[in-house]
Amino acid sequence: MTLLPNRSKVLTILLTSCFASGVAYAVKPIDAKAQEWGYGGAVNPTRWEELSSKYSTCETGNAQSPINIQQVAETNLPRINFDYQPTPLEVVNNGHTIKVNYEPGSSIQLNGQQYELKQFHFHTPSEHRIEGTASAMEMHFVHKNQAGDIAVVAALMKEGNSNPALEKIWEDLPAEREKKKSDTSIDASRFLPQDRAYYNYTGSLTSPPCSEGVNWLVLETPIEASQEQIEKFMELYSVNARPVQPLNGRQIQLKE
Ligand SMILES: [Zn+2]
């Protein structure tokens, strides 16, 4: 099986559409699916819904993410029980972020439901804001339960001490659209703050197709990364954060 005919077809379409619109893009022979949205220029977050009919929720949805977290209600939410195990380190630079894939066997328990950890990835600056203030970065731990419901644990990252868990990933970052598998393993639990208090609200994926019904668990305590570590990510992605979305009457709860 060869991917070549497909790729050249995709490239032709890309070239045609770029020339047709008069935009001078440098077109690379890469996965066109991942190329179709971004954070700046003609494909910035305010234009996502124009890029594909599949992305209409980005515009029409009324429970979108991220949000500015304020006016929270303290409630009796259950704790998140983390059961993260080490996984072989596989890092992907997918053209939107740096993503670390997770093998089956790590999960969180919430409300008697088990959500399997699928991957974690990074944004800069943070997507969620606290009382209007963004952090330097944000990590998203993406989970799915058996029914396919998504729960994302978010850890805000502020500038501070060097993060040893991050160093393992950062020391050998793949080039754009590349994947690197290494002999070492990584343990997602090493990123978590000791205090697991969290904000909870219902929102969406923060990237196309912006699907709703996502259970957001934003940890109240930020974690740290050094200025050098933050800058290293910004060399690849200077901005990869969607702006905050209207709350539309949604409630934000805090579990201390
Ligand atoms: Zn994310």
Q: Is residue 130 a contact partner of residue 156, using CB atoms and an 8 Å limit?
A: yes
Q: How many domains does the chain divide into?
A: 1
How many residues are listed for the chain in this entry?
256
80: in domain: yes
128: in domain: yes
Q: Is residue 133 a contact partner of residue 110, using CB atoms and an 8 Å limit?
A: no
40: in domain: no
Q: How far is the CA of 183 from the centre of ligand 1 (A)?
A: 26
Range of the domain at 200: 60-255
DSSP assignment string, 226-243: -HHHHHHHHHH-S---PP
Collect residues with CB below 5 Å from ion ligand 1.
140
Among residues 32, 146, 187, the alpha carbon closest in space to that of 95 is found at 32
133: in domain: yes
Q: How far is the CA of 5 from the centre of ligand 1 (A)?
A: 32
SS3 sequence, 52-108? CHHHCHHHHCCCCCCCEECCCEECCCCCCEEECCEEEEEEEECCCCEEEECCCCCEE
pLDDT of residue 77: 87
122: in domain: yes
160: in domain: yes
228: in domain: yes
- CATH number, domain of 143, equals 3.10.200.10
Give the full edge-to-edge strand order of the sheet including 129-130: 68-69, 129-130, 133-134
CA–CA separation, 160 and 36 (whole Å): 35
Other Cβ atoms closer than 10 A to 226? 16
**Alpha-carbon dihedral 146, 80, 250, 119, rounded to 10 degrees:** -50
CA–CA separation, 45 and 41 (whole Å): 9
Q: How far is the CA of 19 from the centre of ligand 1 (A)?
A: 32
23: in domain: no
**What pairs with residue 199 in β-bridges?**
218, 254
Q: How far is the CA of 184 from the centre of ligand 1 (A)?
A: 24
CA–CA separation, 180 and 173 (whole Å): 8
Q: How far is the CA of 140 from the centre of ligand 1 (A)?
A: 5
pLDDT tens for each residue of the chain, 256 residues long: 444 444 444 443 443 333 333 343 433 334 445 448 999 999 999 999 999 999 999 999 999 999 999 999 988 889 999 999 999 999 999 999 999 999 999 999 998 999 999 999 999 999 999 999 999 999 999 999 999 999 999 999 999 999 999 999 999 899 999 999 999 999 999 999 999 999 999 999 999 999 999 999 999 999 999 999 999 999 999 999 999 999 999 999 999 8
- Predicted structure pTM score: 0.86
Q: How far is the CA of 4 from the centre of ligand 1 (A)?
A: 31
Q: How far is the CA of 22 from the centre of ligand 1 (A)?
A: 32
CA–CA separation, 107 and 163 (whole Å): 23
> Taking the alpha carbons of 9, 13, 18, 19 in that order, is the dihedral positive or negative?
positive
pLDDT of residue 14: 41
CA–CA separation, 185 and 208 (whole Å): 30
